[in-house]
Structure 1
Amino acid sequence: MAANHDPVPALRELCERGILPPHSRVVKRLSGTTSGAVFLLEAEGEPGLVLKMDAPEELRSVISFLDAYQGELLAGVRYADPGCRYYLYEFIEGTSGEGRGRKADWLKTLASGLLSRYVPAAEPSIWGEVVRPSPSWLAFLKGELRENRRTIGGVLSEEEHTAAQRALAASSYAHDSEPPYLLHGDCGAHNFLFREGVLTGVIDPYPVAGPPVYDLLYAFCSTPDDLTPAALADAVSILSAKQPLPARASGLTAEVLVHLYNRIGICMRHHPQDLSRYLAAWEEWRARGSF
């Protein structure tokens, strides 16, 4: 990963190349990015562009994702450095955190505005993280379960750890029957922007190659509120009209359990105050699927 995230040389280059007007400046460094560094820029007195800096291999995959799905929820790429040291994109108004509105509503917006437009990845043999691919989708998910098991430890019983493995084996994720699609990969509420309770933007992709339902369930499990089938149902209907989804009487119970297990681990690392709500949801979904 690039160690030097000084925006001044990049800003100078952008001005010299005529991409930005003279006297453009950095307003502030923005927080919350998964990797690299992000800066809000001001050009001719108006903020509205963002400079993202990271390692070339990371940025190359991100730019490919943004170019593939230009549209209402994603920032438009204004300029990409030929060496993939940085890129410039449009600022999206909105805030993350509180004020998200009903989960069912923003999941529907996510499904219709982004996930239903997903297309197969350029490389059909790549699964998991685009920059660090796995040999199969199942191998990628087994790695996620192993990582989160180390975090979860004794918070769940040995039988519950085994239940997560059973859920993965029973899920559609265990079979690479469809080609991998190019996914956002970090499609959680921490990367969503809202205005007046409406989802207005999805930022900071970490591209993954896999089934579209992965991003939907990642988003569903990314907040501890309303982890119910009802909150998910309309978004699933929207997505299933455009993308391949498993057709089973049990629905997506096994897949949700895999995501909930991983989210418990993420929760313990990053937002432990939500743990009790995730544990309650884990029990409810386990009972629903008899895992």
Structure 2
Amino acid sequence: MQIEEIFVELRQRGIIDHRIDDWIPLSGGTLSTVYALRENQQPKLIVKMNDPLTVRLESEYLKFYKSIPLFAQMIQVHENYEYFVYTYQTGEATYPRKHKKAMLHRLVTQLINHTKEDPSAEGYGYQDKPSPTWQDFLLLRYGWAQETLERVLSAEDHKFVEQLIRNTPESGRKYLLHGDCGVHNFIFEQEQVTGVIDPIPTIGEPLYDLIYAFCSSPDSLEPETIEHAVKSMDGGLYHLSTLYADVLIGLYFRMATCIVHHPQDLEEYLQAWNIWKMKVEKE
């Protein structure tokens, strides 16, 4: 559907009234087509279009976590999942690269501690293409990362990460995770995270989202930064004994993404890689 058709349909169904008088396209990292519906040139609602499976999974995620203030509120989803509508979140989409420890603490207390198990979940990892086990999901991510990092890390490093993954439990609890919980999907006001957008619904352990956030920017990657956040997690949501290995795996994945999207950050990530690898080897 075109935005003109959607606009008329929303009017006819009473989802929007005459005060919403125009729309503008939004750009960003998402693969969806996104528009802001505006009132007096101020964004009020978001219309997001993608393939039906993606629309269904994202809209169901927002419904599942409708009580979490960091997320937008679902307004409407098309019956054939051609689009969905949710509230606009004010703020800046640029991470200030400050106060990472406080940001992670807020993320834990406002989001991760409210993560719930999904009793209907099938498999692990990305909901649109679930893997049989959690280990299979990590190995899937490893395959792409290994190819991308082939000339960056040594063969010994690649084998080390693969072995860490093969030492992880094959299965576990099935929590519904954000799946792309990085600073590129955070909204900030006064240098504080106030919103989280664009989930890639994923089934796994809550620590995955925290490690993803920690590794999503190259600043403040010292162990004490994430250790402080982990201490704020509700008991039972993490396994402290495997934290360092899990972080090294997450850092490995993030460095591969960095090469594709932010190659200028690679040197900082490599410095952190050496620190974390030493910690894991000492364990």
Structure 1 length normalisation: TM-score? 0.91
Amino acid at match of 2:147: R
CA offsets 1:116-172 (integer angstroms, 9 cap, x no match): 1111123244211101111111101101000011111111110111111122233xx
- 2:24 corresponds in structure 1 to 28
Structure 1: state its 5+ residue gaps.
Answer: none
Q: Aligned partners of 2:133 and 2:69: how far apart in 1?
A: 31
After alignment, is 265-274 or 39-48 more displaced?
39-48
- The DSSP-based 3-state class of the residue aligned with 1:174 is coil
Shift of 1:235: 1.6
Change (3 A) 1:261 1:46: closer
CA distance in 2, matches of 1:277, 1:44: 43
Query: C-alpha distance in 1, partners of 2:257/2:169?
Result: 22
Maintained 8 Å contact 1:21/1:44: no
Q: Is the alpha carbon distance of 1:196 and 1:100 closer, same or farther for their aligned partners in structure 2, counting shifts above 3 Å?
A: farther
In the aligned structure 2, how far is the partner of 1:82 from the partner of 1:270?
A: 35
Matched, 1:148 2:141: no
Alignment match, 1:162 = 159
**Per-residue Cα deviation, 1:230-249 (whole angstroms, up to 9, x for no partner):** 1112221122x25421142x
| TM-score (norm: length of structure 2) | 0.94
2:57 aligned with 1:57, yes or no?
Answer: no
Paired AA for residue 163 in structure 2: R
Equivalent position amino acid for 2:63 in 1: D
CA distance in 2, matches of 1:12, 1:168: 50
Residue 22 of structure 1 deviates from its aligned partner by: 3.3
Q: Is the contact between residue 127 and residue 136 of structure 1 (CA under 8 Å) also seen in structure 2?
A: yes
Q: 2:273 maps to which residue?
A: 282
C-alpha contact (below 8 Å) 2:133/2:170 kept by paired residues = no
- Taking only aligned residues, the RMSD between alpha carbons, in angstroms, comes to 1.7
Deviation at 1:184, TM superposition (A): 0.5
Q: Structure 2 vs 1, CA of residues 247 and 46 (structure 1 numbering), >3 Å: closer, same or farther?
A: closer
**8 Å contact from structure 1 (residues 100, 198) kept in 2:** no
Answering whether residue 247 of structure 2 is matched by residue 256 of structure 1, we say yes
Answer yes or no: is 1:267 the counterpart of 2:249.
no
| Mapped pair 1:211 → 2:208 | no
Deviation by residue 1:44-85 (Cα, 9 ceiling, x = unmatched): 664211111111110111111111112210001111222211
Percent identity, please: 34
2:170 aligned residue: 175
